[in-house]
Chains A and B, each alone.
Chain A
Amino acid sequence: MPRHTIPDILPGTLDLLILRTLQTDPMHGWAISERIQQISQDVLQINQGSLYPALHRLEHQGWIEAEWRTSELGRRAKYYRLTTTGRRQLTVEAGEWERMSAAINRVIKFA
């Protein structure tokens, strides 16, 4: 099965994936990328170099916030958590994605 780094698919989707991954629990960067890879059954792989800039950008936008905690490895790690506005943004972006993919699907099936 071919692997894809995220920006190859559709620009802008990385934000959505990060926000969705953080919906339930706070996570640090590595865990986020692992989780996305796992859930997508290795189809989606995040380019590590673009994950952290994206995280910092989202933090500045106020959609996620960071906190230093001790990790399972016993080292201090930066954990990201969804904020209220982030939650709202996730709904918006997820809805947007649904509409887009449904539209594209329709075009592929019926055009």
Chain B
Amino acid sequence: MGTDVSRNQPRHQIRVAMTIRDLRLRVRALLSPRKVERELDDELAFHIECETQKLMASGLSAAAARQRARARFGPVPLAADQCRDKRGISFFETLVRDVSFALRTLRRAPLVAVTVVATIALGLGVVTVAFTFFNAFFFQVDAVRNPGELFSVERLERPDSSSEVPFSRAEYEAIRRDTDVFTDVAADRPSFPTRIDGRAAVGMFVSGNFFEVLGVTATRGRTLTEADNEAGGRAVVVLSHEGWTQLFAADPAVIGRQLVLNGHPYAVAGVMPEGFRGLRQQPPHYWAPLALLEQFRPAETRDQGWVEVIGRLKPDTSPGAAAAALSAWASAQPGIRKPENGIVHVILRESRGVIAEHRGEAMAVFAPILFAFGLILMIGCANVANLLLARGLLRNREIGVRLSLGATRWRIVRQLLTENLVLALIAAALAFLVSRALLAGSIHLVTSILPPEFTEPTDSAGLTIPPGDWRVWTFLVGGAVLSTVMFGLLPALHSTRLELVRAMRGEVTKDARPSRVRQMLIGSQVTASALLLVCAAVFLRSTYSSATAEVGLRTDDTLVVRRITESVRPAMVRAIKDHPSIVSVAASWPDPLHGGVSRDATVGAATLEVGCKLVSPEYFDLLGINVLRGRLFAADERSPAAGAIVVSDAVARRFWPNGDPLGQTIRLGAASGGATEAEGEPQIPAQVYTVIGVVRDVRSALKMFDFGYAGVYLPTTAEQAQTSFIVRVHGDPDAIRPTLLDAFMKVDPALGEIASMRMLAGLEGAILEVFFWIAVILSSLALALTISGLFSVLSYLVEQRRREIGVRMALGATPRDIMRLVLSQSMRPIAVGVVVGGALAAVTAIVLLATPLAEMIGTLVHPFDPLAYASSLSVIIATCLVAALLPARRAAHINPIATLRAD
């Protein structure tokens, strides 16, 4: 057992006790610095006074005594400074000093400051765009009371399955009445397309207590109440802030105004506050009483229709226990729909208006996007770092002087970093504006590329710019600090590593020439640009192949009418047939967006899974599917029961490679196990069918939609429930669409959708085009930053090596040699960057293809497209060469004699 001698020594340094007393003293020093300073002066002066008195008492004259006392005390300011250090607020004082020094330095070199701020603001703004969406999807909880208590109640088909069986309104009422885990339970019915005064709008049908359960009040008028939902419902709506501004131009006198909602008169009862989204990610335009749902969807009766159930959990109940209690209750309750084994599985999901399901997977998808946007910031930082390195050389002398005057290296690094942080914070404020502008621009881009049918509101009040809340600001400040480290630390460390004497003489020491760091920075910039440009090229190629893809169906003058209300089908059929613009009509099930319904087809011993489609006789001619052999359906063959089928060429060749398919028979199997047919859907009876004709294959080259592909066609008619209509029109289908919409809405106010086939076929390409433009914008930003970085670094280096180049030329080097010298210097980092960037892109593709998304990505884009790689990498090499060529030419034209004389 022994005592560590050295333990005694640093004890007081280790114990930086943060006692209350300590804190009080620090706060006092911060708040009234003058008083504390005066006290310190008084204390030290008193000491000298005492000493003087003592010396005078021993016989010295007053003046001599004072002088001696002062001498004995030593330098007063030093002692005072040490006392201040102990006070522990020197951090702030130094900070203030550093910041004011930084501002002075920046004013002296405004061009550098502006360049740095602009570069960082751009990079930070771009990444903030991505974060703003990220924030809106994952963190921006809806503005309701205690959102943590709100859960949606979901009934699973099986405990291990993710597919849900929604509750009917009757079941919701039972849950509300008979269970006790919630303080109250509300219901809403997600939106379907509606029109207010002819304009597309999205609404929700909600129970009377919806707003009360969520704990929100209206900013104007009132919210919906139980009374609105009683006795068939009162025809009123409550508008969201978005609905109010988009549909009523934020008219302050909107309360009580009448509006026509899908042909029914309604009155506006209230307007909800901005930021309230009704527990969805994007707000609807309006909320209407649930009791009025049948006006729009007659099929959705109290027992047939479905609603989403949202409960506010009692504060002392856990979600798990509540789900167990609800499951037990539902299994025992006679009025609740149950699976075959009679056990109902109920789960609770957080419902706060942010992504709650598959959160991890959704974040995994988002992370690479955030990273791609972050690359711009990184490239910008590399540029700024390069700039600061060059500037560090200019400031060598200043830093050298300060170091030799006794400043520690840490002190100077800290001051340089403060300087950078000031710039980065200014940039962060600008970056917010940049991100808002970019957000507005990107929404404009998306709405102008995607067809209007796609972006017009279908399940929310359309694309809106997500608000920038405190999280966005925190992100910006964090980003500013991070980028300060990224662009500032390296130059700061470099410029303080000096040989003092030579630095003060103004000589650039070899040691401090950061050529390797520069090469690394350029290399990483080229890498990032290459990665982004390869992505852009891959998307471009995919967009092109999608745009030129053969759809296999006639799309120039055809439209699809989908999801009509079944009760008005006869009137609708008549309206379509009588419309003057419509040349011909066909019906199909499933609609042309989807392939066939899968069934097992058996001929002899061979069984094949085929897609089956119910079509009316006009279908083939209308969509341009030619008959190869045999005939099409006759007028009396109106349903599958007639036993006649038409097969595609591929199916015919598969079953009868040599023989004649006409007159042969095929047995179609029953629906496979899991898929149960919804009520009212057409049936495909399991029986033997006779082949009456063969048509050409519909082979869609598009990947996202299974356009019209089917192996077996069975007859049906437009009168058959659930079928969709395909119409051929005179003239431009997109121009005629609004007229058709107006005409048919009169027949069916709840009409689902009319879309031109051309738009649907172009959708895939349009989505890819959006990705392409994002990648193009990012990669061109990246490339522009990289080129400007490369150019300035090389120009700077040429300037630095002027004398050396002069000597070389004087000794006989030709301009060609000099150009080769300069170019070879830049080629290495470019080559490394191109190779690494290309490899990174390939690795990203491999990683992405290993995720569950692989199937979709793999068929939609070609992540290893050699042409995309080759072209984008050549673009990089070419542009970098051009950027390098100018400084190289300048070097080659150096006049050796003038250069040598200049020294």
CB distance from A91 to the nearest CB of B (A): 15
* A73-B50 CB under 8 A given contacts A53-B83, A61-B17: yes
* A12-B46 CB under 8 A given contacts A48-B79, A49-B73, A61-B15: no
A9 to B823, CA, bound (A): 65
Q: B-facing mask of A58-95, CB < 8 A → 1, else 0?
A: 01111001001001010111100000000000000000
A4 interface residue, CB < 8 Å from B? no
Q: B-facing mask of A32-54, CB < 8 A → 1, else 0?
A: 00100000000000011110110
CB distance from A69 to the nearest CB of B (A): 11
Q: Which residue of A lies closest to B54 (CB)?
A: A34
Contact yes or no, A62 B82, CB < 8 A: no
* A78-B39 CB under 8 A given contacts A30-B50, A56-B86, A62-B22: yes
B156 interface residue, CB < 8 Å from A? no
A10 interface residue, CB < 8 Å from B? yes
Q: A73-B49, A96-B3 are in contact. List 11 more A-B contacts (CB 8 A).
A: A12-B9, A12-B12, A29-B46, A31-B50, A48-B47, A56-B83, A56-B86, A62-B19, A75-B46, A78-B46, A100-B5
Contact yes or no, B19 A96, CB < 8 A: no
Contact yes or no, A52 B8, CB < 8 A: no
Chain A residues with CB under 8 A of B609: none
A68 to B2, CA, bound (A): 43
Contact partner of A28 (CB less than 8 A), chosen from B2, B5, B46, B79, is: B46
Chain B residues with CB under 8 A of A77: 43, 46
* A75-B49 CB under 8 A given contacts A48-B73, A53-B79, A100-B8: yes
- B residues apposed to A, CB below 8 Å: 2-3, 5, 8-9, 11-12, 15, 17, 19, 21-22, 25-26, 39, 42-44, 46-47, 49-51, 53-54, 72-75, 78-80, 82-83, 85-88
Contact partner of A100 (CB less than 8 A), chosen from B3, B44, B85, is: B3
A73 to B80, CA, bound (A): 23
Q: Which residue of B lies closest to A16 (CB)?
A: B8
Contact-residue bracket for chain A: 20 to 34
CB distance from A56 to the nearest CB of B (A): 4
CB distance from B729 to the nearest CB of A (A): 86
CB distance from A75 to the nearest CB of B (A): 6
Contact yes or no, B53 A61, CB < 8 A: no
CB distance from B13 to the nearest CB of A (A): 10
Chain A residues with CB under 8 A of B9: 11-12
Q: Give the number of A-B contacts (CB < 8 Å).
A: 94
Chain B residues with CB under 8 A of A99: 3
CB distance from B623 to the nearest CB of A (A): 86
CB distance from A82 to the nearest CB of B (A): 13
A75 to B53, CA, bound (A): 13
- Most B C-beta atoms less than 10 A away, residue of A31, A48, A78: A48
A49 to B88, CA, bound (A): 18
Contact yes or no, A78 B42, CB < 8 A: yes
Contact partner of B8 (CB less than 8 A), chosen from A12, A30, A71, is: A12
Contact yes or no, A49 B74, CB < 8 A: yes
Chain B residues with CB under 8 A of A47: 74
Contact yes or no, B12 A15, CB < 8 A: yes
Contact yes or no, B46 A49, CB < 8 A: no
Chain A residues with CB under 8 A of B42: 76, 78
Contact yes or no, B50 A12, CB < 8 A: no
A68 to B12, CA, bound (A): 26
Chain A residues with CB under 8 A of B26: 60
Give me the 4 closest cross-chain CB pairs, A-B, nearest first: A53-B82, A30-B50, A56-B86, A62-B21
Give 28 CB contacts A-B under 8 Å.
A12-B8, A12-B9, A12-B11, A28-B43, A29-B46, A30-B47, A48-B73, A49-B78, A53-B79, A53-B83, A53-B86, A60-B17, A60-B26, A60-B88, A61-B15, A61-B22, A62-B17, A62-B19, A65-B21, A71-B46, A75-B46, A77-B43, A78-B39, A78-B43, A99-B3, A100-B8, A103-B2, A103-B3
